[in-house]
């Protein structure tokens, strides 16, 4: 949550900062602001609303500085007001700060600072942090041969020893032209190393147009940027040798192109995203999946008697699909837990349990906390995530990168189906180590390879699904119903609709409808049913008839070859008949399109839904 951009170089900082904020706006869009050196003072410009509001406000100022910091906010402490927008200035005007995270002990620090004469103009924990840095800066001696910039670094260091919580910060000081001090703990911060310029950002996408060379800062690290270069130390003053990585995607991958929204683009990106997820990950004999980064032997896999999956939101739904596929094909019991709940529960687990965490960003704070809790208790933890160099990727014992490229839309689409693909491949990988036959493995692999083309086939129905969406765009409630591996897809369909159209929606196992939710059914509450061929087809049809008997409208997503009774469904969306391993992937696409087109018909801001942000980095 929240986006940070910083710049030191030879160009005017303001335009570069604003361009970076535009690319990070999916991380928060309650307000935006920037701070630059302006002669002998710090100039702060900030405004509630989108970055476009900041652009208008900034145009009223002459901003020629080549050093600055900026921020786009997702509100945590304090309402959405100009005063609460970042950057914040200390009451003496010496320090400016932008911050992503939550300072949990801000109240006690604020009480202390009030006794020292500091004043506050906002409700935020960030202004408290800013004034604490100013307090230490004023106390830090400057007459012992130390430079002003070392005073600033030490002031930030001393401040961070007193705070509890999470932070990614960038700091300017009026006495230190052309310098930035930044630090992180539990909130992502990345250093970009360009030609005669340095950048800071909470996501690579903010700097990819200027450099592909980045340093992923770790928790507890402080970086000091000057025109001559940068230096990284830890909180305990240990020097850190930086590792410069090269980003493997370009700015074009994060551009909107001819699409109306990033969500639309990413829905249609899914065939290629699935191909990238699978690329190079099948054995030469075509009978199993292979992964290069798991860092676990086949014997350790065989010795595991239980898998535990943790995730949040959409990733949790992917974990539920993984549970079904692994139990179905590999015959290993799987437990799925909300990452946000796991570390607060005293879960009894066998010593041979193997942990998996899922997170598109690799920075989800609750998932990271679950990972650390599992490791603390001695369990091996593997990660499934999309962002190379992310905190979860670094701290896990091994894992799988999704390789789907940047996902900008707040409502996850291509990352989710990629997670389903990784889950299906993982089920195959373990099943072939246990009792799945060679021929069944070959059939499974061929099914996985067919998924991109089957998704393309579903996408050809976009115009037809748009018509259906417009018909139901004004309902206030909707139910999504599926069974087995399609129950999590029902949950995901309901979440997508809630996220971007603000329609109340719920997902249920189809057979559970009669145990309570059927009370909601009326002609004003349509139901979306997943109706695949197979042993449960007739039972799902019976559930549909229960809805129809109560005048409920039905949208049926039906595999080809399945014959529904006449007039049972009001709308039918056919999907290709396919192998069980990829059915959740194929069935997901119609509900993505349905939700997208409903949101468009309602005039919603699809890529920036209210109250949401892409990466949840606060607890």
Which residues on adjacent β-strands are paired with residue 477? 504
d(CA 146, CA 479): 65
Mean residue pLDDT across the chain: 90
pLDDT at 19 over 50: yes
pLDDT at 280 over 60: yes
Q: How confident is the model at residue 609 (pLDDT cuts 50, 70, 90)?
A: confident
Closest listed residue to residue 335, CA positions, set 305, 363, 365, 361: 305
Q: Do residues 125 and 119 make contact, with C-beta atoms less than 8 angstroms apart?
A: no
d(CA 322, CA 317): 9
Higher pLDDT, 461 or 29: 461
d(CA 320, CA 39): 57
Determine the pLDDT at residue 619.
54
Closest listed residue to residue 20, CA positions, set 210, 248, 229: 210
d(CA 606, CA 501): 8
**DSSP secondary structure string, 137-152?**
HHHS-SSSS--HHHHH
**DSSP secondary structure string, 246-271?**
E-SS-GGGG--TT-SSHHHHHHHTHH
d(CA 589, CA 586): 6
d(CA 301, CA 242): 34
In the structure, how many helices (H) and strands (E) does the chain have? 18, 25
Determine the pLDDT at residue 144.
44
Determine the pLDDT at residue 332.
93
d(CA 347, CA 389): 30
* Burial label, 226 (beta-carbon count in 10 A; 0-12, 13-18, 19+): middle
Closest listed residue to residue 433, CA positions, set 283, 537, 252, 553: 283
How many CA atoms lie less than 13 Å away from 197 in the CB half-sphere?
A: 22
By annotation, the residues acting in catalysis are 2, 614
Distance from the Cα of residue 600 to its chain's centroid? 22
pLDDT at 561 over 90: no
Average pLDDT over residues 480-501: 94
Determine the pLDDT at residue 146.
46
Q: Do residues 259 and 268 make contact, with C-beta atoms less than 8 angstroms apart?
A: yes
d(CA 436, CA 8): 57
Determine the pLDDT at residue 148.
56
Q: Considering the chain, what percentage of its residues have pLDDT values greater than 90?
A: 59
pLDDT digits (tens, 9 = 90+) for 200-255: 998 888 888 899 899 999 899 999 999 999 999 999 999 999 888 888 766 666 77
Average pLDDT over residues 600-605: 94
Which pTM was predicted? 0.85
Q: Do residues 64 and 89 make contact, with C-beta atoms less than 8 angstroms apart?
A: no
* Burial label, 467 (beta-carbon count in 10 A; 0-12, 13-18, 19+): exposed
Residue-range domains of the chain with CATH: 3-253 (3.60.20.10), 262-601 (3.40.50.10490)
State whether the Cα torsion 375-360-215-343 is positive or negative. negative
d(CA 260, CA 240): 44
371-394 burial string, b = 16+ CB within 10 Å, else e?
A: bebbeeeebbbbbbbbbbbbbbbe
d(CA 166, CA 185): 5
d(CA 371, CA 71): 29
pLDDT digits (tens, 9 = 90+) for 445-480: 999 999 999 999 999 999 999 999 999 999 999 999
d(CA 116, CA 98): 23
d(CA 501, CA 18): 28
Q: Which helix (H) or strand (E) holds 310?
A: strand 306-311
Return the structure tokens found at 454. 């089957």
Determine the pLDDT at residue 145.
42
332-362 burial string, b = 16+ CB within 10 Å, else e?
A: bebbbbbbbebbeeeeeeeeebbbbbbbbbb
């Amino acid at each position: 949550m929240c986006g940070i951009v910083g710049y030191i170089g030879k160009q005017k900082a303001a335009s570069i900062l604003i361009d970076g904020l535009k690319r990070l706006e999916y991380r928060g869009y309650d307000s935006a602001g920037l701070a630059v050196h302006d002669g002998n003072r710090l100039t702060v410009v900030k405004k509630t609303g989108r970055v476009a509001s900041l652009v208008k406000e900034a145009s009223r100022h002459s901003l020629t500085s080549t050093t600055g910091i900026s921020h786009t906010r997702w509100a945590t402490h304090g309402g959405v007001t100009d005063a609460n927008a970042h950057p914040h200035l200390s009451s003496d005007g010496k320090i400016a700060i932008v911050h992503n995270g939550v300072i949990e002990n801000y109240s006690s620090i604020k009480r202390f600072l009030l006794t020292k004469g500091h004043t506050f103009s906002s409700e935020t924990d960030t202004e408290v942090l800013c004034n604490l840095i100013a307090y230490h800066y004023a106390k830090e001696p400057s007459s012992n041969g130390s430079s002003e910039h070392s005073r600033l670094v030490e002031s930030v260091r001393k401040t961070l020893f007193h705070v509890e919580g999470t932070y990614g910060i960038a700091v300017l000081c009026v006495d230190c032209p052309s310098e930035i001090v930044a630090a992180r703990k539990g909130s992502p911060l990345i250093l970009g190393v360009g030609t005669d310029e340095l950048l800071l950002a909470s996501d690579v996408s903010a700097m990819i147009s200027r450099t592909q060379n980045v340093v992923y800062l770790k928790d507890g690290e402080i970086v000091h940027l000057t025109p001559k270069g940068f230096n990284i130390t830890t909180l305990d003053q240990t020097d850190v040798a930086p590792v410069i990585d090269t980003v493997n995607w370009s700015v074009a991958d994060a551009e909107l192109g001819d699409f109306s929204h990033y969500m639309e683009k990413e829905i249609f990106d899914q065939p290629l995203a699935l191909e990238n997820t699978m690329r190079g990950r099948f054995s030469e004999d075509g009978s199993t999946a292979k992964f290069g980064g798991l860092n676990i032997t086949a014997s350790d896999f065989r010795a595991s008697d239980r898998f535990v999956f943790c995730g949040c939101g959409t990733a949790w739904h992917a974990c539920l699909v993984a549970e079904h596929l692994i139990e179905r094909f590999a015959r290993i019991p799987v437990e799925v837990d909300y990452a946000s709940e796991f570390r607060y529960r005293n879960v009894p687990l066998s010593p041979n349990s193997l942990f998996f965490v899922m997170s598109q960003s690799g920075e989800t704070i609750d998932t990271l906390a679950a990972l650390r809790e599992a490791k603390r208790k001695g369990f091996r933890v593997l990660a499934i995530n999309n962002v190379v160099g992310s905190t979860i990727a670094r701290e896990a014992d091994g894992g799988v990168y999704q390789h789907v490229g940047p996902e900008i839309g707040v409502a996850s689409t291509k990352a989710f189906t990629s997670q389903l693909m990784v889950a299906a491949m993982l089920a195959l990988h373990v099943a072939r180590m246990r009792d799945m036959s060679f021929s069944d493995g070959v059939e499974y692999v061929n099914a996985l390879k067919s998924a991109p083309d089957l998704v393309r086939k579903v996408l050809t129905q976009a115009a037809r699904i748009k018509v259906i969406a417009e018909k139901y765009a004004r309902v206030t409630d909707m139910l999504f119903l599926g069974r087995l591996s399609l129950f999590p897809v029902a949950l995901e369909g309901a979440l997508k609709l809630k996220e971007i159209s603000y329609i109340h929606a719920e997902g249920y196992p189809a057979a559970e409808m009669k145990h309570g939710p059927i009370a909601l059914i009326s002609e004003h509450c349509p139901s979306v049913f997943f109706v695949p061929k197979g042993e449960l087809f007739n039972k799902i049809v019976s559930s549909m008839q229960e809805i129809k008997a109560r005048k409920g409208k039905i949208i049926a997503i039906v595999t080809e070859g399945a014959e529904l009774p006449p007039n049972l469904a009001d709308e039918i969306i056919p999907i290709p008949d396919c192998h069980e391993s990829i059915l959740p992937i194929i069935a997901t696409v119609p509900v993505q399109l349905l939700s997208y087109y409903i949101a468009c018909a309602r005039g919603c801001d699809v890529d920036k839904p209210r109250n949401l942000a892409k990466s949840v980095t606060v607890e």
